Amino acid sequence: MGKYIALHDAYLSVAEALKHGGIASKATVNIDWVDAETVTDETAPEIFKNQQGILIPGGFGQRGIEGKIAAIKYARTHNIPLLGICLGMQLSIVEFARNVCGLKDANSIELDPSTKHPVIALMPDQENVDNIGGTLRLGSYPCELDPASLSCKLYGSTTIHERHRHRYEVNNDFREVLQQYGMNLCGLSPDKNIVEMIELKDHPWFIGTQAHPELKSRPNRPHPLFKGFIEAAISCKR
């Protein structure tokens, strides 16, 4: 029990944002906390058999990474609504690169510095920085959304601002192959140099964001991504 209380405390803002999304739809949101270390391709069908949506939150470190990737794969292949936040978005790209694009050892250099396919990497201006303590991309940043994207429909605008707390970014060397296989890099920085949001073209509701949208959600003003995620979960037939 203590493990799941700790999860709830660590992700309190995410849990509250999910509830805000439920308020908008006049729905009660029931959260089943999952220990990512228990998730594999073999256990995922049993763990997620009754779930109407899967959220992969932010985080740091190696613990539970492969379980999160297995959860993302299950959501992608079973058309379950998925919202990936920060690390959740990065691992969504890792899973897609491995299992759709055929880049079998794809990874983030944060997790595997020796990977031959570093789909998540440092920005070029940070590659030679030794003291990483003050180099997080921190604070509010603008993002330009693809007008045809689901994200743009949810936000109701092509220009948004979201709060960030991360250091690793989508490696631009892999943009072409990701898009070729069906990933929409639907949100970019105004200079087009940084991928901020992703969607999958052949999935009913699959969105990843580098930002932390939970920090801007309020009971009387649910964040568009959480509102849309709960709406999609309600519509998901299980």
CA distance 20 to 98: 34
Annotated catalytic residue, options 95, 169, 199, 214: 214
CA distance 65 to 67: 5
Would you state the structure tokens that stand for residue 232, as one six-digit string? 């999609």
Torsions phi, psi of 83, nearest 5? -120, 120
Question: Is 143 annotated as catalytic?
Answer: no
Would you state the structure tokens that stand for residue 33, as one six-digit string? 């906390």
Torsion of CA 36, 59, 140, 203, to 10 degrees: -30
CA distance 93 to 72: 10
Question: Is 212 annotated as catalytic?
Answer: yes
Compute the 3-state secondary structure of the chain and give helix, strand, coil in percent, each to the nearest 5.
35, 20, 40
List all residues 6 or more positions away from 228 whose beta carbon is below 8 Å from its beta carbon: 21, 150, 154, 205, 207
Question: Is 86 annotated as catalytic?
Answer: yes
CA distance 182 to 153: 19
Annotated catalytic residue, options 20, 203, 212, 223: 212
* Helices 65-77/87-99 angle, 10° precision: 70
Annotated catalytic residue, options 86, 101, 152, 186: 86
**Active-site annotation, residues:** 86, 212, 214
